[in-house]
Amino acid sequence: MIKNVIFDIGNVLAKFRWQKLFKELGFEGEVFDHVADATVRGPWWPEYDRSRMSDEEIWQCCCALAPEYSAQIMAVFENVENICEEYDYARSWIYSLKAAGYRIYLLSNYGRTSFEKARQKFSFMDLADGQVISYEVEEIKPDRAIFEALEKKYGILPEESVFLDDTMKNVKAAKSYGYHAIFFENQALAAKKLEGMGVFALPVSEDDDRKFMKEALKQAKKAAALGEVPIGCVIVKDGDIIARGYNQRNKKHSTLGHGEISAIGKASKALIDWRLTDCTLYVTLEPCSMCAGAMIQARLGRAVIGAMNPKAGCAGSVMNMLQMDGFNHKVHVTRGILKEQCSDLLTGFFTSLREGRQAGQGQRSGGDPHKTGRPVR
């Protein structure tokens, strides 16, 4: 079974648009060809990616190929961050593959300076679970060594991974190393080929996920207004919110007062069905064992989580109950949506609680620790 999707960057996630850059720099006719032959089409470009030589040494080697065009050659290196331009689909494609549970890695030939500049412009970097870029390991595709570096760094097994690249020799090499591999021509075709291997992206939108997490945050604020730990939740079906909930454990004097439990109950009532298979639950904090258990019992389709909860979370922190082998149901999980807002709300709540407690202690001697102690979910 395929668990990992490994992307080349150039001409897969970002267009390698060197011809456009050359035109932007005003190169035409003979100049265009001479500069191309000394740089992107020349023998030193792979060495630039391999980065065993310093940039200065490579620049000198390139200029030596066409000394009369040294100024133009250097202009290419000075503007190297514009040599690739991200495709519109890159982020949303990776996002929807991740939502389906695939781990995403980048394996690309890139020189140090060009990648360090380019990565600032790529919107998808934060979605990748990991990367090996040629300059980091001083090895380039299609050599076995760079694939091995990725395998070692992340414990990846080739047979559980599919590799996408626009260069046939890299694709052939990956297959010979035991990977599933796709020769990338365009995104639509590649998505189809992935589906042929059983790799289906989830049809989700990051904008929608943010929109509904904001609704969950509104619920969390209701909890805060009651002096409860601010955790909120909404459940969405076919683009509509069908249930809302927030933490009311103290108000209800009940362990069962978590927002997710309340929302799951309301959603089942609304649908007149205990099964929530086609629903997505948005929650501002990673669910506890009780709520994760309820999600499995409800056959929930998908959970979208804001902040993680290292001490009690059961969607990847303490354990990943939602996706555990052995249970009869697994929930698709997306993590980290509006995580700063979600965790800021909690931090702000506990800070004001502490400050209130300190002020209270100033007036009274001591206090009831059961009433003033930090709530722990």
Binding site for Zn ion (CB under 5 A): 258, 288, 290-291
Q: Closer to Zn ion by CB, 243 or 288: give it.
A: 288
Q: Minimum distance from CB of 303 to Zn ion (Å)?
A: 12
In three-state secondary structure terms, 309 is coil
* Nearest residue (CB) to Zn ion, 58 versus 315: 315
Strand partners, 237: 240, 279
Q: Map residue 104 onto helix, strand or coil.
A: strand
Task: Return the biggest CA–CA distance within the chain.
Answer: 87
Smallest gap from Cβ 352 to Zn ion, in A, equals 22
For 69-97, b where at least 16 C-beta lie within 10 A, e where not — what string?
Answer: bbebbebbbeebbbbbebbeebbbbbbbb
Among residues 82 and 248, whose Cβ is nearest to Zn ion?
A: 248
Of residues 155, 191, 156, 202, the one with CA closest to residue 332:
202
Least distance from Zn ion to the Cβ atom of residue 1, Å: 31
* Shortest distance in whole angstroms from residue 288 CB to Zn ion: 3
Put residue 155 in one of left, alpha, beta given phi > 0 → left and psi -120 to 50 → alpha. Answer: left
**In whole angstroms, what is the distance from residue 304 CA to residue 45 CA?**
43
Provide, rounded to whole angstroms, the least separation between the CB of residue 247 and Zn ion: 8
For Zn ion, the closer CB: 288 or 338: 288
Radius of gyration, alpha carbons of the chain: 26
The answer to whether residue 260 is catalytic is: yes
* Residues in CB range of 200: below 8 A, 6 or more apart: 100, 194
Neighbours of 29 (CB within 10 A): 7
Considering the complex, what minimum distance in angstroms separates the CB of residue 374 from Zn ion?
A: 17
Residues 6+ apart with CB under 8 A from 349: 224, 229, 230
Identify which of residues 288 and 296 has a Cβ nearer to Zn ion in the complex. 288
228, 260, 286, 340: the catalytic one is 260
Taking CB positions, which residue lies at the least distance from Zn ion?
A: 291
Alpha carbon distance 282, 303 (integer Å) = 6
Nearer to Zn ion, 223 or 291 (CB): 291
Cite the active site residues.
Answer: 260
